[in-house]
Amino acid sequence: MSYLFIIIAALFGLTAVVLGAAASHALRSKLAEPLFNAMQTGIQYQFYHTLALFMVALLLIQMPSRWLLVSGWLFVAGMILFSGSLYLLALTGQSWFGPITPLGGLCLMAGWLSLAIAAIVKFQEH
């Protein structure tokens, strides 16, 4: 599973760079400021959590853990829901994508919590 997370992290990193370039060069003048800011927020959070997912993948290689697996999948779901909903909101202007964003945020928070639990469990084993 760790190598699957590395592949997913690499693809999320690639799409974050592509979307960042597209936003800066092609969309900046076309999007209203709040929509452009929403796009930028989605890109930033995707980058942060791409690195977190990569870290989880590396940790899984060293210390397999159910909690790390949960953390990885929560980061994947969170990026799709949080960043994805912000991208769709920015690109379509459809406000109904907005309520999806907090669900993604909850997944991201739960991913961090799962990562902490994985470390606590490992600490208690020693």
Banded model confidence at residue 20, pLDDT cuts 50, 70, 90: very high
Query: CA torsion angle for 73, 112, 109, 22 (degrees, to 10)?
Result: -70
Instruction: Specify the pLDDT at position 125.
Output: 86
- Whether 46 shows a pLDDT value over 90: the answer reads yes
Cα distance between residue 106 and residue 104, in whole Å? 5
User: Which residue's entry shows tokens 């909903």?
Assistant: 85
Mean pLDDT, the chain, as a whole number? 95
Q: pTM for this one?
A: 0.94
Contact 43, 31 (CB under 8 A): no
Mean pLDDT of 31-54: 96
